Amino acid sequence: MHKISVINTSYNPEGKTMFLTNAFVRGFKSKIPDEETKIYHLAQWNFPACEGCLDCWFKHPGQCVHDDDFSRYIKHINESDLVIFACPVWVGNANHLFRNFIERFICCLKPIFEKNDDMYGHKTLDDVKIKEAVMITTCALPGMHNFEPVISHFKSLNYLTGIKTQTWLMKPQSMEMKYLPYTEVNEQLNALCHAAGSCFATTGTISDDIRESISKQYIPEKEYIDAVNNDFLSRFHD
Ligand SMILES: Cc1cc2nc3c(=O)[nH]c(=O)nc-3n(C[C@H](O)[C@H](O)[C@H](O)COP(=O)(O)O)c2cc1C
């Protein structure tokens, strides 16, 4: 049985990032039907921030001092083969729920500094079965530069934890998913993310063609900016 955990860090369980992620998971399942998928919406969790006490390393190995939703669910998440993060960009980076989750994950690492490939980080505890993580991220502004901090943080998890982090999907100008008629852009993105999921399930990677088509900006930039700004202006109250 192949197990997948989806970690959604958007406050909107039916938002743009989960729309793409659900299609990716459906595509994956079309190739590996016997897998079990669990979706965790972090906005519904009660999980305070890591306070850096490191009791989880030195006093009670593997156990955080916070007895909360993170401590409850992480045992199941750690049994997954694959973790998929659905993460919108907030103020130029992965949002706080992603960062909180990753910082709390320190309790699943061994304290000793060890090399993963060529760089020092940590190994996960022996009961962590996660082999790989995938990042699916969206942002409202145009341009791929908006994803640099989030992808760079995601990639660093490879040497910090030993978990493979070499696959991500990025969708800029995400509000066009709302502005264009549903049948145009959302159907295309649905099909592309489905194709990405099935490609990933069979080859372990996603072709450049699919990734680039997902990152495409469907409305010309100037038109998009006008549409967003008009939308925002119409939302002001007197
Ligand atoms: C508090 C907040 C901060 C945001 N900051 C950025 C930002 O810095 N850059 C950007 O391009 N989009 C930003 N956005 C827009 C979201 O990244 C974008 O709408 C995303 O697609 C939302 O995904 P969702 O529908 O899954 O929640 C921000 C949204 C919110 C609510």
- pLDDT tens, residue by residue, 16-39: 999 999 999 999 999 998 889 999
**Alpha carbon of 180 to ligand 1 centroid (Å):** 18
User: Residue 190: pLDDT band by 50, 70, 90 thresholds?
Assistant: very high
Nearest to 214 by CA among 42, 78, 20: 20
**CB-ligand 1 contact for 191 (6 Å cutoff):** no
User: Ligand 1 centroid to 118 CA: how many Å?
Assistant: 34
**How many angstroms separate the CA atoms of 49 and 99, rounded?**
9
From the CA of 100, how far away is ligand 1's center (Å)? 17
Kindly compute the dihedral angle of the four CA atoms of residues 71, 72, 76, 79, in this order, to the nearest 10 degrees: 30
> Measuring CA to CA, how many Å separate 139 from each of 85, 105, 121?
14, 25, 29
Residue 155 CA to ligand 1 centre (angstroms): 20
How close are the terminal C-alpha atoms of the chain, in Å? 56
Query: How many C-beta atoms lie closer than 10 Å to residue 225's C-beta?
Result: 14
Find the range with the poorest average confidence among 132-136, 163-167, 168-172, 183-187.
Answer: 183-187
Q: Answer yes or no: is pLDDT of 182 > 80.
A: no
| pLDDT 10s digits, 145-159 | 999 999 999 999 999
Strands 93-94, 82-90: pairing is antiparallel
For ligand 1, atom 30: residue with the closest CA? 90
Domains and CATH numbers, the chain: 3-235 (3.40.50.360)
DSSP designation for 109: B
User: What average pLDDT score do residues 119-123 get?
Assistant: 98
Whether residue 180 is predicted with pLDDT greater than 70 in this model: the reply is: no
175 C-alpha to ligand 1 centroid (Å): 9
Q: Which of 89, 97, 174, 224 to mutate to test the pocket of ligand 1 (most atoms within 8 A of CB)?
A: 89
pLDDT for the residue 34? 80
Q: Are the C-beta atoms of residues 103 and 53 closer than 8 Å to each other?
A: no
Which atom belonging to ligand 1 lies closest to the Cα atom of 93?
Answer: 8
Segment 182-200 shows an average pLDDT of: 93
CA angle (96 as vertex; 193, 23 as ends), nearest 5: 10
* Residue 167, phi-psi category: left (phi > 0), alpha (psi -120 to 50), beta (remainder): beta
User: Can you say how many angstroms the Cα of residue 75 is from the centroid of all Cα atoms in its chain?
Assistant: 19
Q: What is the pLDDT of residue 237?
A: 74
> What size, in residues, is the chain?
238
